[in-house]
Each structure stands twice: as structure tokens, then as C-alpha cells.
């Protein structure tokens, strides 16, 4: 039982014990009750990636996400995959246009109509600049080429706001940066690719926040379109559970964290959801972890029946209130970014980095389940795993002082607590 009638979330937001009325936001929902169940793979060898993909499809995945280079041979990766029945997501290192051309040639060779291709292709110059510190103007031309090549079902106007979530952003900050990110491309491309925008978000463990955050994203998109006198079109929402919330101690607790996170994204209306395996930070590319992650989708769909309900959050006073608050706060953040000349300039002058640093300092937890809250004293860190060391921003800035943009720092909330516990265990 709580000792107070109010609850406070990590970034300082207080929740009232009872809501007797709320606004009607009409936030919108995905186009159908079901969502795409996505699993990801980093392509090293093409045939191995194909074997992985066929196994994941056999287990019931409806979306495949590949991290690949433009020089890798796409037909080998896609061999025997019936693309007309799944969503294909491609995160490209190099030229997105070359990969898109390869996909079109493959579809032609397989006698597959290009209007049957659905999914996304991921080339996001803003996210790359924020992550690496390097602005690559040539990637904007790559997006222009994609506008000429990409069939309607392959969304290529990509906004990777999941990076901000991975860097510890609050729901409002992630949404505000996402809105500025969307606006950057709308200002640059206008109506070009308007129906092929997609937004990537992270989903965290506070599911009511996640429901409201995903709903508020659609409100922000609608307002941006209206302000720019553009027609109303659907914004594809992709959401992923982040390793930000995972712990290496009592690792199976990550199953609970990811289920709460995915529930929030799904009820909030995400079109596609990736649940990362519970052991992502300790055992990359683990078959058991990937199978359990897919089973979590099945539990939410076929036992909780979330794939049979349209917009279950609509009309819930608390969720409508929170959705409205998030949208208004995010729009205020967008206003601050506009005053600096837009998101790219806000990254160049360090405003984004400074705001995220403040939010991380405020939200870093003092206790994490399984690490220093109800810990299993017999539990030890997996062999070969070392918790990430906390990065002081002054040292980070010095390390990247030669770059045009200070790269954003990704966080894992439990890392410092894991290091403390590991040191204490060693000293005993």
C-alpha cells in the first residue's frame, strides 16, 4: 500500500488519486486493432540472416527488422521470405536508395507487385547527427532519391525519436523533440513523401505514461499538418522496448518490464512494436530470449485480446488528461526549439544535450528491482558482462570537442547500481 494518495513519476510528475472528468482529445489510433510484431537482427552474413528470419517467421513474427550495409546482398537475406505477408524494416548503413533499388529488383525477379511491399526504410540524417556528432548533408539527397524510388507501402520519411528515449528523455521531452524532428522534414520536403512518414519511439515501464505518450504523438502530428496547411494523413508509429530499462541482475525481471512497456505502446496505438529480449544487454542474438519476446506479443494479443479492441484508452479520464498534458507540454518544447532556429541548430548549440542531461539527473533511480531492491543475494552478473560506466558530460564533451555536434549520451538506468553491487560483492 502507498503511504500517500499521490504518486510521483521519476521525472517529477504527480498523479492525482482520482479523475472525475477529462478532455476529449480524439487522438486517433492505428488503422486496425492488431499491430505488427517485430523482431530485429544485425546482418553479418547474409545466409545466416536468412536462416534467422525464416525461423522467426515460423515462430509467428509478422515484421522483420534488419540492420544492414548497402553493400550486402539483399536477395540472399530475403530468400524464400514471402514479403507480401509481412512488414519489412531496413535500417541502412550507407545509401538507402541503393538498398531500395535492390529491393525493387528482387520484387521484380520474384514476380511480386511493388504495391505489396510494406514496411520502412530507415535513413534519418538528424538522428545520425545527434548520435554521431556529424551532420551528413548528402543523406538529405538520399532521402530525395528514396522519394522517387519507394513504393507507397515502404515508408521512408523516418523520425528516430527513439534515440531521445534511449538518452533518458521524459515523455514530454521525447515528444517535443519528435515534433521538432518531424517539423524539420516537413519544412524541407513539404508534401513530398507526406503519406510515408513514420515515427519511432521507445516505450518505458510506466504504462499509463506510454499510453498517453503514443496518443499525444498523433495529436502533435495532426497539429503540425494543420499549421502547415497540409492534408491530414496517418502517421505510422513504431515503438520498441529500450535496453535503457533493462538490468543484468535478476535478468528475468526484464520480462515484466518489457511487458508493461509493450502494453502501453499497444494500447496507445502503436502500429508496430518490437519487444527486445529480456537478456539483450547480456546475451545478444539469443534464440531463447527472442522466442520469449515473441511469446510476450502472443500473450498480449491472444490472452489479453488487445488485438480485438480499437482504442481502449479513449474516454478514460486520467489517460485523456495525461494525453492532453503531454501534447501541450511537447508543443511548448517545440516552441523553444523553434526560437533557436529548429532542431538541427538546437543540437549544434547544445540545448538538446543540456536539457537531456537535466532530465537524466532528475530521473536516475536510487533503487531498481532485482539490483538493490529485493535483490537475490546469490545472483551474480553473467560472465563477460561489465556494467556501463557512468559518463561525465564534461569528459564526454572533451572527447568530442572536434565535432560539430556533441553526440547524445545513451543511458541504462540500472548500470551504476550494478557497478556498485558488483564492487561490493568483490570486496566481500
| Strand spans (E) along 184-235 | 197-203
Burial 39-57 (b: 16+ CB within 10 A, else e): bbbebeebeebbebbeebb
Give every CB contact of residue 303 below 8 A, 6+ residues apart in sequence: none
d(C-alpha 324, C-alpha 319), whole Å: 8
Q: What is the pLDDT of residue 2?
A: 53
pLDDT in tens, the chain (428 residues): 456 677 788 887 788 888 888 899 999 999 999 999 999 999 999 999 999 999 999 999 999 999 999 999 999 999 999 999 999 999 999 999 999 999 999 999 999 999 999 999 999 999 999 999 999 999 999 999 999 999 999 999 999 999 999 999 999 999 999 999 999 999 999 999 999 999 999 999 999 999 999 999 999 999 999 999 999 999 999 999 989 999 999 999 999 999 999 999 999 999 999 999 999 999 988 999 999 999 999 999 999 999 999 999 999 999 999 999 999 999 999 999 999 999 999 999 999 999 999 999 999 999 999 999 999 999 999 888 999 888 889 999 999 999 999 999 999 999 999 999 998 887 66
| Domain 29-327 class, CATH top level | alpha beta
Q: Please, which residues bridge with residue 87 across strands? A: 63
d(C-alpha 292, C-alpha 366), whole Å: 29
Going by the DSSP 8-state scheme, the letter that residue 393 receives in this structure is H
Amino acid at each position: 500500500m502507498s503511504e500517500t494518495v499521490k504518486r510521483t513519476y521519476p521525472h517529477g510528475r504527480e498523479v492525482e488519486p482520482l479523475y472525475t472528468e477529462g478532455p476529449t482529445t480524439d487522438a486517433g489510433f492505428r488503422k486496425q486493432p492488431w499491430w505488427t510484431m517485430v523482431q530485429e537482427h544485425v546482418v553479418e552474413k547474409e545466409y545466416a540472416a536468412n536462416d534467422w528470419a525464416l525461423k522467426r517467421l515460423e515462430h509467428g513474427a509478422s515484421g522483420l527488422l534488419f540492420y544492414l550495409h548497402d553493400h550486402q546482398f539483399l536477395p540472399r537475406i530475403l530468400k524464400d521470405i514471402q514479403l507480401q505477408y509481412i512488414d519489412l524494416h531496413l535500417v541502412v548503413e550507407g545509401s538507402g536508395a541503393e538498398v531500395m533499388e535492390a529491393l525493387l529488383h528482387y520484387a521484380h525477379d520474384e514476380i511480386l507487385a511493388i504495391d505489396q511491399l510494406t514496411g520502412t526504410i530507415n535513413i534519418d540524417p538528424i538522428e545520425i547527427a545527434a548520435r554521431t556528432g556529424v551532420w551528413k548533408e548528402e543523406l538529405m539527397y538520399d532521402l530525395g532519391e528514396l522519394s522517387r524510388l519507394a513504393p507507397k507501402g515502404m515508408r521512408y520519411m523516418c523520425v528516430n525519436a527513439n534515440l531521445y528515449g534511449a538518452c533518458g528523455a521524459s515523455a514530454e521531452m521525447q515528444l517535443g523533440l519528435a515534433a521538432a524532428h518531424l517539423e524539420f522534414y516537413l519544412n524541407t520536403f513539404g508534401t513530398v513523401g507526406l503519406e510515408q512518414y513514420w515515427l519511432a519511439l521507445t516505450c518505458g515501464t510506466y504504462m499509463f505514461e506510454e499510453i498517453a505518450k503514443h496518443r499525444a504523438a498523433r495529436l502533435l502530428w495532426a497539429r503540425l499538418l494543420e499549421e502547415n496547411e497540409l492534408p491530414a494523413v496517418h502517421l505510422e508509429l513504431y515503438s520498441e522496448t529500450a535496453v535503457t530499462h533493462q538490468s543484468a541482475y535478476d535478468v528475468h525481471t526484464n520480462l515484466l518490464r518489457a511487458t508493461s512497456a509493450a502494453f502501453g505502446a499497444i494500447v496507445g496505438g502503436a502500429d508496430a512494436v518490437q519487444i527486445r529480449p529480456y537478456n539483450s544487454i547480456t546475451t545478444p542474438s539469443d534464440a531463447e530470449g527472442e522466442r520469449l519476446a515473441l511469446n510476450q506479443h502472443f500473450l498480449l494479443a491472444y490472452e489479453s485480446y488487445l488485438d480485438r479492441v480499437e482504442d481502449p484508452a479513449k474516454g478514460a479520464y486520467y489517460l485523456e488528461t495525461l494525453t492532453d498534458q503531454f501534447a501541450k507540454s511537447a508543443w511548448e518544447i517545440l516552441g523553444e526549439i523553434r526560437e533557436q532556429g529548429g532542431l538541427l541548430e538546437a543540437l549544434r548549440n547544445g540545448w538538446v544535450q543540456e536539457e537531456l542531461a537535466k532530465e537524466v539527473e532528475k530521473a536516475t533511480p536510487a533503487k531498481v528491482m532485482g539490483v538493490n531492491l529485493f535483490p537475490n543475494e546469490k545472483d551474480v552478473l553473467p560472465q563477460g558482462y561489465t556494467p556501463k560506466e557512468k559518463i561525465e558530460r564534461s569528459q564526454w564533451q572533451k572527447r568530442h570537442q572536434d565535432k560539430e555536434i556533441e553526440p547524445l549520451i545513451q543511458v541504462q538506468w540500472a548500470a551504476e547500481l550494478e557497478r556498485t553491487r558488483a564492487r561490493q560483492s568483490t570486496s566481500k
